[in-house]
Amino acid sequence: MKRLLLAGCALVLAATGCTATPPPRHEQEKPPAVALPADRDPRAVLSALRRIDLCAVLDRGATTAGIEGHTVRAVSPFACDLDFAEPRSFPVHLRVDPLPSGSRVTLPSTVIGGARAYVFSDGPCDVVLPVTFTVSIEIMDTGRSCAEAQPLLAGVVSALGDPDRVTTEPRWTACEVLSTAAVGHPSTDLGLDGCSDVPGKRGLWFDYPESFPRPKAQRGKAGDRSVWVSTDPSDSTCDVSWKPDDGPLAIIVRAATCDEALAMVAPVDRVLRQPPPEARPQRPLLYGPDEPDSPFAGACAYIDGLGSPEQCAPLTRVPIPGAGQQLVDLAADDVQVACSLALDPVTEHFGDQMRAVIVMTGDTPFCYLVTPRRQLEIGFTVSRSTVADERRDGARTTDIAGHRALVADCDVILCSVSVATSTDAEQQGVLSVTIRRGPLRGAEVPGDAGDKAQAVLGDIVRKHFG
């Protein structure tokens, strides 16, 4: 939310100046409500994930990619590693992990085998495949770039696209157990193998440890269950771990005191003896390239820092009524008129992928133009201020289509351009374009942004305020 509040503030400053008294504000017309994308049924997705053997997925993916002599080893119920036959090679990790929408908007997106994917890192390659608005399957090839790992990535996606061929016995997830056992209130999802209740310092983890018990752990008893107890003085917590059978699974519970942790063992044990919840598995599991994978409507998924999906709506384009001062008054009061005024010239000069959205900052709507590439965010306002109100340190005066204009703050982060709607610079009416770098990691405002912003304003001035 902070980013949008700052962005809205910057737009207001661009329209009214930093020190001058702003003109009287009129009540802005708010955009109509829009239908928001619905997330997948979490029960269906969990039902699908709990049945997938990630080691079988990696094995099939490696075989499809022609990788010979590889081995796979499970490191937890919902994570697996692939090892290459070559000496000194680095493993590939596959696991289920959280991926909130706020992280996705900053990551480059791509399509692998017909499925949407996001790239955390190109080298070593780290790719995530979303399965809900908040959960993903992560593939990390720790020794190769994504170009080198492409055959393996495609093989993994292919295996996940046919989940009935890579199944295993259904397993509980950590947050399900913590909640069902009524020994904590899950507040932090650490992937399907881990869950914590931060205020109560309670947590639960599943692991396939290479050695058990942990070093310095002390043998203990929880009811009739033999357990191992270890404390961490650095964060004043106590861990209790045990193996429910002769298999590789170790269960770790954590609490603020050892008495609390020991009391968690029996209810957790009881839950794990029961079969996990049943539901019809999600099919398909992965998202297609055009399928929405966030709670934001349309192009609102391309803007950063939204506090809630209701805060943003794609532009409903409206006709441009009137011209001159009449249009200034209408566009200053109706953000949809203002945004419709900017859409064609912005797409003309910045590319036809630009999409217009209305963002609510407090009770005030603002117009932004964004792109699926998420490299730019362009704000546009129409105000009843004057160019004199716009002047601030560093701004230079110029001329756009015979109208006085100001250009300020043009660098790799921000560029602002404003122009009077009348040839009489004392008359109220200013158009402002504010260009910011988008949320995509590494994005910068291009060097020609100021020239393009002036071209946008020039087109609007000549057509509607000439």
Check: CB of residue 314 under 8 Å from CB of residue 356: yes
- The fraction of the chain above a pLDDT of 90, given in percent, is 68
User: Domain 42-165 maps to which CATH number in 3.40.1130, 3.40.50, 3.40.1000, 3.30.70?
Assistant: 3.40.1000
pLDDT, average across residues 354-362: 92
pLDDT of residue 15: 36
pLDDT at position 304 over 60: yes
pLDDT of residue 184: 65
Q: Whole-angstrom Cα distance, residue 158 to residue 112?
A: 9
pLDDT, average across residues 329-350: 95
* pLDDT bracket for residue 32 (50, 70, 90): low
Element (H, E) at 33: none
The closest of 382, 381, 371 to 440, measured between CA atoms, is: 371
More confident residue, 11 or 357: 357
Element (H, E) at 222: strand 218-222
pLDDT of residue 98: 87
pLDDT at position 186 over 80: no
Judged by DSSP in three states, 450 sits in helix
Check: CB of residue 101 under 8 Å from CB of residue 89: no
The closest of 429, 445, 425 to 437, measured between CA atoms, is: 445
pLDDT at position 201 over 80: no
* pLDDT bracket for residue 337 (50, 70, 90): very high
pLDDT, average across residues 77-106: 87
The closest of 303, 289, 357 to 104, measured between CA atoms, is: 303
CA Rg value for the chain = 28
Domain range list for the chain: 2-36+296-464, 42-165, 174-272
pLDDT, average across residues 291-316: 91
Q: pLDDT digits over 50-89, tens only? A: 999 999 999 999 999 999 899 999 999 999 999 998 876 6
Q: Whole-angstrom Cα distance, residue 115 to residue 130?
A: 9
DSSP assignment of 52-100? B-HHHHHHHHHHHTT--S-EEEEEETTEEEEE-SSTT---EEEEEEE--
pLDDT at position 206 over 70: yes
pLDDT of residue 387: 80
Other residues' Cβ atoms within 10 Å of the Cβ of residue 316: 13
Check: CB of residue 320 under 8 Å from CB of residue 340: yes
Residue 28 is given by DSSP the state P
pLDDT of residue 425: 80
Measured at the CA of 301, the angle between CA 295 and CA 303, to 5 degrees, comes to 130
* pLDDT bracket for residue 200 (50, 70, 90): low
Q: Tokens 């992965």 label which residue?
A: 286
Q: Whole-angstrom Cα distance, residue 33 to residue 375?
A: 27
pLDDT at position 413 over 70: yes
Average pLDDT, the chain: 87
pLDDT of residue 11: 34
Element (H, E) at 138: strand 135-141
Residue 158: both structure tokens together: 């292919």
Residue 365: both structure tokens together: 């709507």
pLDDT, average across residues 248-262: 94
pLDDT, average across residues 248-267: 94
pLDDT, average across residues 369-392: 88
pLDDT at position 328 over 60: yes
- From residue 115, give the alpha-carbon distance in Å to each of 66, 81, 98: 21, 22, 18
Highest-pLDDT range among 231-235, 411-415, 453-457: 453-457
- pTM (2 d.p.): 0.84
Q: Whole-angstrom Cα distance, residue 421 to residue 195?
A: 57
pLDDT of residue 383: 93
Residue 164 is given by DSSP the state G
Q: Which residues contact 390 (CB under 8 A, 6 or more apart)?
A: 14, 17, 406, 418, 430, 432
* pLDDT bracket for residue 391 (50, 70, 90): low
pLDDT at position 166 over 90: yes
Identity of the amino acid at 295: P
* pLDDT bracket for residue 24 (50, 70, 90): very low
